[in-house]
Amino acid sequence: MSATSDILTHLIKQLSRLPGIGKKSAARIAYYLLQTDRTYTESLAEDIRNIQHRIRRCSVCGSFTEADPCDLCSDLQRDRSRICVVEQPQDVAVLEATGAFAGLYHVLGGVISPIDGVGPEDLSVAKLIDRATGIGEVIIATNPTVEGDTTALYLAKLLEERAIPVSRLALGLPVGGDLEYADRLTIERSLRGRTRLTTEL
């Protein structure tokens, strides 16, 4: 979709850079911004302008925060005997939203990926080892991808050498899923990782 104004065309092009926003969605958003109330567009512009100034990385766990250390790292109510290792800061928000984990987090900042030239030295690994020493359990929550699995194995080896207990998020069928639509690898992993029903009761 072409626009009849240079300014509009520029805004559409800028919006297309956002993840998940194609040219058509960008045009739709641009026309919405043109016609919505001005208070909203000004406040949105202000938020976008400020976000990088006001949010930094937590010097302890590496997630995004306004105050350093972040609210989670400073919260004395949290279980300090467990650290959950994630790839990206946004994974902390995803896990927190479940309410299923009350320990601390550690953001790696990526995964080991030789193709992309990312090695362990590019990730927050040394700091993790440092933080994890003497801790009760490290739960590795990298994504179930080749890179995520490689990174998990690499970290597990390092941590086990220091006698730190390591676990990994379970792989298996998604809740509400259907065997018929699950891929072969997921079914294999859910078979290998099968749990005794009696222990769960």
The residues binding a copy of itself (CB under 8 A) are 1-8, 10-11, 14-15, 17-21, 25, 27-34, 36, 38, 40-52, 54-55, 63-66, 70-72, 88-90, 92-94, 96-97
Minimum distance from CB of 162 to a copy of itself (Å)?
29
- For a copy of itself, which is the closer residue by CB, 7 or 185? 7
- For a copy of itself, which is the closer residue by CB, 14 or 59? 14
CA distance 155 to 164: 11
Minimum distance from CB of 148 to a copy of itself (Å)?
18
Place of tokens 């050498």: 161
Minimum distance from CB of 91 to a copy of itself (Å)?
10
CB 63 within 8 A of CB 70: yes
- For a copy of itself, which is the closer residue by CB, 96 or 149? 96
Cα 40 from chain centre: 29
Minimum distance from CB of 107 to a copy of itself (Å)?
11
CB 153 within 8 A of CB 161: no
Minimum distance from CB of 23 to a copy of itself (Å)?
10
- For a copy of itself, which is the closer residue by CB, 99 or 134? 99
- For a copy of itself, which is the closer residue by CB, 58 or 159? 58
